[in-house]
Structure 1
C-alpha cells in the first residue's frame, strides 16, 4: 500500500473540517450580499471539481453525469443569489450526499481520500452558513 503524499490524503477528516471551518468567519464580517455571493461562488467551485475528475476519468457518460450535477448545483447557487440564500447552504449539504454516493455508487475516478474530506467540508460549511445567516436574522 502506498502512503498518501500530502496532508489532505493522510488526514482527510481533519483537513476537511479545517477547510470547512476556516472560511466561515469572513461571512460574519461581510455585508450580507457579499456573503451570499462568496457562498455561491464556493458552491459552484466545489461542484465543478468533479468535472475535472470526470475528464481525468475520460468516459463520456461520466463527463455528462458530473457536468449535469454541477449544473444543478450552479442553478442552486443562482437561486441563492436571487432571493433564496438558504438554497446555497442546502445545496452544500446536498453536495456532501453527492460525495458519499461517489464512495460506492458513482464510478467517477476520484481519490479515496477526497470523499471524506469533501463530505466533512461541505457539511461544516452548510451548517456554519445556516448558523451565521440565522444569527444575522437573514
Structure 2
C-alpha cells in the first residue's frame, strides 16, 4: 500500500472513530477512546515480537508502558492525558521512519497510524472542553 492510500485510510478510520465518540455519552466515549488507544499500543507489541531483536524490544516495551500510563490517566484523571497518549503514540510512529527505531513495521502503517493518532488527539482536546 502506498502512503497516499495509508493516509486516506487513516483519515477515514479517525473520522469514523470521532463520529462514534461524538454520538455516544461522554463517559462511554471516553472508555471507547481508551480501548482504542490500548489496542493500537499493542500493535507495536506484535510488530516487535515478530521482529525479535532485543534492542527494539527494549524501546517498544518502554513506549507501551508510557502510552498505557497516559491511557489510564486519561480514563481516571482527565481526558487530556488520553489526548496526550494519542499524540505521543503519533510521535512514536514518526520515530519509526528510517534512522529511528528500527522495529520492522509495514511502511504503510506509520503514516496511517500517525494521522489517526493526531486527529483523534485533536478531537479529544476540542471535545472535552
Using the size of structure 1 for normalisation, the TM-score is: 0.85
CA distance in 2, matches of 1:40, 1:123: 15
Residues matched between the structures, number: 128
Out of 119, 128, 131, the residue aligned to residue 114 of structure 2 is 119
CA distance in 2, matches of 1:12, 1:98: 17
* Conservation of the 8 A alpha-carbon contact between 1:27 and 1:132: no
Structure 1 match to 2:93: 99
- Over alpha carbons, which structure has the higher Rg? 1
CA distance in 2, matches of 1:42, 1:111: 20
* Conservation of the 8 A alpha-carbon contact between 2:67 and 2:88: no
After the TM superposition, list the runs of 4 or more consecutive aligned residues in structure 1 that deviate by more than 3 angstroms.
none
* Conservation of the 8 A alpha-carbon contact between 1:21 and 1:128: no
* Conservation of the 8 A alpha-carbon contact between 2:73 and 2:81: yes
The answer for unaligned runs of 5 or more in structure 2 is none
Structure 2 match to 1:88: 82
Deviation string 1:39-78 (CA, Å, 9 cap, x unpaired) is 1111111111111000110112222321221111111111
Tell me the secondary structure at the aligned position of residue 22 of structure 1: helix
Structure 2 match to 1:132: 127
CA distance in 1, matches of 2:114, 2:71: 18
Alignment of 1:1-138 (within 5 A): 4=1, 11-104=5-98, 105-134=100-129
Tell me the secondary structure at the aligned position of residue 103 of structure 2: coil
Shift of 1:106: 0.4
CA distance in 1, matches of 2:76, 2:56: 30
